Structure 1
Amino acid sequence: MVPRIILPENAPTAKIELRHLMGDVYVTIQRKKDYIEAKWQGHITADNVVCAAQAYLDLLKEAPCPKLLNDKTEVTGDWQDANDWLQFEWLPQVLRLGLRYLAHVYSFSMFSKLAARELEERITPQLSMKNFYERRLAEEWLLAQDPLAAGQRAATA
């Protein structure tokens, strides 16, 4: 049997948990084998989204990763006010750090869903973002994306 080598930048990491002032976790960020996952829960605000996006940036600075699975299935709340910051501050930084694909799983909350749709309109085509109703479909799409092809497209644009 040939030993399997896992490169450090692709190795799963410990979870980063961000919490509300009362102690409830609102997002868990973790590097998986092929992508970074942000798993959200509970009621979130625009400030929560900005804090999580900054934590995600720190993780990317340690080791770049071209794919992000952003699962907001279990959230409520309107985070649309974070979209300006995400578009004008976060997006240029994550692009420089190698992010190319963002699979977003919708919440059942209409406000959260509208914020995600607006974000997709704002950041594509610079970043390939796609919204999904099911996590399984989001993960399948994300895993099927070729980061080398995205890098070549970005270099020729």
Structure 2
Amino acid sequence: MDNRAAMKKDLHNIFGKVSLSIEYDRANHLIYNDWQGYQTLESIILGANAYLDELVRYKCPYLLNDNTNLMGPWDHAVTWIAEDWTPRAIALGLTHFAHVVSSESFAALSAEAMFTSIGTSFQMRIFGSRTQARQWLRDAQQAAKVLG
């Protein structure tokens, strides 16, 4: 049961639309989160916690968090992310967080607020493209192999 369908989890909003797809990319050893539409505090908490389940399941410290399909800001969750989610993510093994945003979106401002709030808790970078984010995660994995 090692097919792609078994490695993808979709969360739905109250209207039945996908609000978050979480997928383990075995070939690149990373977890890809694709956030979609508008996110409430509750949907962010649900989705962020679901990611932690996948981090444990796949023992994968590399997250590509994609906000390019997100609508609106998510500032309402930054404090919870910094104070609640981040310590748990680190305790479970998260080391690298690649955050992809569209520069002209409100989500980009929220990503900057998160970046400022978490400090140096783990390695986090903000990117304008998935390609750049994937390359940064690959480089981090290569560096970890050299050191480890």
Give the alignment's TM-score, normalised by structure 1: 0.81
Kept after mapping to 2: 8 A contact 1:66/1:147: no
1:19 maps to a residue whose letter is: H
Give the alignment's TM-score, normalised by structure 2: 0.85
Matched, 1:15 2:8: yes
Gaps of 5+ in 1: 1-7, 153-157
Aligned length: 142
Matched, 1:83 2:82: no
Shift of 1:62: 2.5
Kept after mapping to 2: 8 A contact 1:76/1:112: yes
- Aligned partner of 1:94 in structure 2 is 89
Q: For residues 94 and 147 of structure 1, what CA distance do their matches in structure 2 show?
A: 22
Shift of 1:58: 1.5
Gaps of 5+ in 2: none
Q: For residues 122 and 97 of structure 1, what CA distance do their matches in structure 2 show?
A: 19
Q: Post-superposition, which runs of at least 4 consecutive aligned residues in structure 1 deviate over 3 A?
A: 107-110, 146-149
1:96-111, aligned counterparts within 5 Å?
96-107=91-102, 110-111=105-106
- Aligned partner of 2:128 in structure 1 is 133
Kept after mapping to 2: 8 A contact 1:40/1:72: yes
Give the share of equivalent positions with the same residue, in percent.
33
Shift of 1:72: 0.8
Shift of 1:47: 2.3
RMSD: 2.2
Shift of 1:111: 2.1
Q: For residues 41 and 56 of structure 1, what CA distance do their matches in structure 2 show?
A: 15
1:21-60, aligned counterparts within 5 Å?
21-33=14-26, 34-60=29-55
**Secondary structure of 1:130's partner?**
strand
**Secondary structure of 1:92's partner?**
helix
Matched, 1:67 2:62: yes
- Aligned partner of 1:145 in structure 2 is 140
Q: For residues 117 and 14 of structure 1, what CA distance do their matches in structure 2 show?
A: 30
Structure ID, larger Rg:
1
**Secondary structure of 1:136's partner?**
helix
